[in-house]
Amino acid sequence: MNRINPTFLDFQAVLTLSREPSFRAAADALGLSPSALSRQITSLEGRLGTRLFDRDTRNVRITDSGRTFARIAERMVNTVDDGMTEFDSYQSARRGRLTIAGLPSITASLLPPILRNFAAAHPDIDLRIIDALSGSVLDAVETGVADIGFTAGTVSARSRLSFQPLMEDEFIALGMPDGPLAEDRVYAWAELVAMPFIAMAPGTSVRELIDGACLRLGHALSPRFEVAHLATAGALVSAGLGITALPNLTLAVLRHEDLVIRHIRDFGARRRIGLVRRSGRTLSPSATAFLEHIRGSRSG
């Protein structure tokens, strides 16, 4: 038996005609002419093999088959209406899901106040945060796991991604009050690399800038410790095992209350913080609303 597949317009026409007193009234409600509505109903009845309405020049009466079809039509029309309402909410960024990937130093310092205000303005958007190292942030955005990302540096090696700079983050030196940074003064980079140094692991955005500073000044770095996570670096410094140099935003990740912070005279670079997204791909309404929120926050 061949399945009959009425269209949404068929369901809408039957439901409207079942509620109106005449073809003309139903046609007006649908924005059709009476003859066009009559042809649509006749075509549907032919495909269904049953009469849905008894009609003459003056009257129209729904049949038992018509009532059954009208009940089904009501469910179908309501389902479509509900779906379009949900889609309209999605398009207007009233509902949806937004996944943001970011370096831990950014998700712990820069994002919380932005997210607080955004969530207040868009309470029905579900937010997911992925805090990860730079490479993983780029991977998440490139593969579509995250809508947007916050990272440091550039993404020139990844042609499918674009980078929008937002701010610059200055490097500072951290140590214990009774350690090598006991003097409250500005330190030269050559002094710092000669001290017991706790460095972030190769491949991290921080280490790339550290190595660049060493290369510019011709001072080789021989770390006493190399670690992958900021919290570990802070813990080792707090234990009196050495000093470190980190971007200012990383303080949000560290327990730095017992540490001294010293400025660096000639580090020669700042960490560029920016937003990364896939090139040539349309952002979701939720992600678009978030970017507009960021632009509004910066301009304000």
pLDDT in the model for residue 125? 86
Contact by Cβ (8 Å): 191, 221: no
Dihedral of CA atoms 172, 176, 179, 184 in degrees, nearest 10, equals 50
Q: What own/partner pairs with CB < 8 Å and gap ≥ 24 does 20-29 have?
A: 21/60, 22/59, 22/60, 23/55, 23/60
Reference 60, options 31, 33, 25, 21; nearest CA is 21
User: Rounded to an integer, what distance in angstroms lies between the CA atom of residue 38 and that of residue 32?
Assistant: 10
C-alpha of 119 from chain center: 12
pLDDT in the model for residue 280? 80
Q: From the CB of residue 43, how many other CB atoms can be counted at a distance below 10 Å?
A: 11
Contact by Cβ (8 Å): 294, 147: no
User: Going residue by residue through the chain (300 aa), what tens digit of pLDDT does each one get?
Assistant: 466 788 989 999 999 999 888 888 898 999 999 889 989 999 999 989 999 999 876 778 899 999 999 999 999 888 887 777 666 655 555 567 899 999 988 998 889 999 999 999 888 888 999 998 888 899 999 888 999 999 887 666 666 888 888 889 999 999 999 999 999 999 999 999 999 999 999 888 889 899 999 998 888 889 999 998 888 999 999 999 999 999 999 998 887 788 999 999 999 888 899 999 888 888 888 888 888 888 776 555
Three-class SS state of 162: strand
Q: Is the dihedral of CA 271, 179, 191, 199 positive or negative?
A: negative
The one-letter amino acid at 186: V
pTM of the model: 0.65
Buried b (16+ CB within 10 A) or exposed e, 143-182: eeebbbbbbbbebeebeebbbeeeeebebbbbbbeebbbe
User: Rounded to an integer, what distance in angstroms lies between the CA atom of residue 266 and that of residue 187?
Assistant: 8
Beta-carbon contacts of 13 under 8 Å, excluding residues fewer than 6 positions away, are 26, 30, 37, 40, 41, 44
Beta-carbon contacts of 299 under 8 Å, excluding residues fewer than 6 positions away, are none
Domains and CATH numbers, the chain: 8-91 (1.10.10.10), 96-168+273-299 (3.40.190.10), 171-269 (3.40.190.10)
